[in-house]
Copies of this chain bind each other. A is one copy, B any other.
Amino acid sequence: MKVKLLTLIVLFAIFATGCNAPDNSSQLIQKYDAISKIMVRNALTNRTGYKWLKDFLKIGPRLSGSPGNFKAIEWIKNKMKEIGLDSVWLQECKVPHWVRGNVEKAWLLNNKGEKIKALHIADLGGSIGTPPKGLTGNVVEVSSFEELKMLGPKAKNKIIFFNEKFDYGEVNTFIAYSKAVKKRVYGAIEAAKVGAKALLIRTVGSSYDNKPHTGNMHYAENVKKIPAAALGAIDSDYLSSVLRHHPDYKIKLKMNCKNLPDTISYNVIGELRGSKFPNEVIVIGGHLDCWDKGVGAHDDGAPALQTLETLDLIKRLNLKPDRTIRCVLFANEENGLNGGKTFGKYAANDKNEKYIAAIESDRGAFTPRGFSVKANKNVLKKIQSWLPVLNNALIDWIKKGGSGADVGQIKNVIASIGYVPDTQRYMDLHHSANDTFDKVHPREMELGTAAIATLVYLISQEGL
């Protein structure tokens, strides 16, 4: 009963102002304004994606190649069928297969070799383990790559403690992160180059606790592979202070993480076929993999499900998009980007379809702020002209900028777009045990769904 009334209201909203009326700007705004308001209200009231999220996160961690990854693929596939999409398929891709193992320990030892304190660490993704009995060494603290490179022989056989702090003064936490993350990605290479035998980095995140943030790290050819882990922020300050007084104290590390041979995983793809221009495609998506210390609630469970709920929202409002909307849940954003790359190649070779837009949601599920658009001037201007409609879902701006790691792999697209919610709390959780369901607020998540759905529907009806 409720649904039928809603359908009528939506139909009224579509036709009241005349579908074929000349689309001058204010008429266009008026037409979509009503629909977008219904989307917002429906998303906020039903909380469908939020309910999905609660169930989805019960799978646990979903790192590529892990049992959780395959369960997530099944879950998404089934949900796409349940929604009643026009087609659902899996797209195979090769992914790295790193396993954390069950030993992830660090201790501070005094100069008699006695254990003084257990420290909170998280092995970095891709790291090798230590020898089975562990690895012990003196510690050298640095706070920059310059310092590290200048250590010379002092670093020989030492454990490097890279204690560079997160820049709390930076208003955009993603910029602060991009500065801080270099030590995680390249630290082991540079530490090995100066002869270190292991790397401990200060956790890359904005929370002040002992739940260190993991994340991908790199090795380089012809440079020795050394174990690498992140140390909790509180323990990092503790260690730094101890070392000032006792530079001879040591660290013992015991980690049995390892890299297994690459394995097969899948992008999960589902779409609503366009009723007028089925060969014009709008891609929306996020990634289904996540790091394994938490359950990837904000990175990228909720945002990925926002894009999936977008299709459900369009279906449940009985809207018939003119263009095809294809949701791609990418397999491997966290440690390889092979899901994105595979889809990017597929799109490049896809001669039957025209890729109009690709929208990624991978910056958490906090309150909407804007969209970041990579497109030519005219396309950007067209999307910006829709701001009054998108503002119904609290989108305050549409700016030129990057989109996202996965959809950025689709090169033959007119507009590559990133959904941008508020970032202030995100780096507290990102890649850590803090990234759990209770951190997602239903209203904030659902407003994001409504924002994405509004933009997707505008593109599907108006083209780019």
Chain A residues packing against B (C-beta within 8 Å): 40-42, 44-45, 47, 168-171, 173, 206, 367, 369, 392-394, 396-397, 422, 424-425, 441, 443-444, 447
Set of chain B residues within 8 Å of A206, measured between Cβ atoms:
443
Report Cα–Cα, A443/B369, bound state, in Å.
16
Tell whether, in the assembled complex, residue B422 and residue A441 are in contact, meaning their CB atoms are under 8 Å apart. no
Contact among B42, B45, B369, B443 with A424 in the assembled complex (CB-CB below 8 Å): B443
Q: Known contacts being A206-B443, A396-B397, is A367 close to B422, with CB within 8 Å?
A: yes
Tell whether, in the assembled complex, residue A169 and residue B424 are in contact, meaning their CB atoms are under 8 Å apart. no
Report Cα–Cα, A41/B369, bound state, in Å.
21
Jot down 12 A-B pairs with beta carbons below 8 A, ordered by A: A40-B169, A41-B170, A42-B169, A44-B168, A45-B168, A171-B392, A173-B443, A367-B424, A396-B396, A424-B441, A424-B443, A425-B443
Contact among B41, B45, B168, B369 with A396 in the assembled complex (CB-CB below 8 Å): B369
Report Cα–Cα, A397/B391, bound state, in Å.
11
| Minimal Cβ-Cβ distance residue in B for A393 | B171
Query: What's the least CB distance linking A1 to chain B, in Å?
Result: 17
Q: Known contacts being A396-B397, A397-B396, is A447 close to B169, with CB within 8 Å?
A: no
Query: What's the least CB distance linking A434 to chain B, in Å?
Result: 13
Set of chain B residues within 8 Å of A422, measured between Cβ atoms:
367, 422
Report Cα–Cα, A171/B394, bound state, in Å.
8
Tell whether, in the assembled complex, residue A44 and residue B169 are in contact, meaning their CB atoms are under 8 Å apart. yes
Set of chain B residues within 8 Å of A169, measured between Cβ atoms:
40-42, 44-45
Tell whether, in the assembled complex, residue A425 and residue B396 are in contact, meaning their CB atoms are under 8 Å apart. no
Set of chain B residues within 8 Å of A170, measured between Cβ atoms:
41, 44
Q: A45, A171, A392, A443: which has the most chain B beta carbons within 10 Å? A: A171
Set of chain B residues within 8 Å of A41, measured between Cβ atoms:
169-171
| Minimal Cβ-Cβ distance residue in B for A41 | B169
Report Cα–Cα, A41/B47, bound state, in Å.
36
Closest 3 CB pairs of A and B: A396-B396, A41-B169, A45-B169
Report Cα–Cα, A40/B173, bound state, in Å.
13
Report Cα–Cα, A168/B42, bound state, in Å.
10
Report Cα–Cα, A41/B170, bound state, in Å.
6
| Minimal Cβ-Cβ distance residue in B for A208 | B442
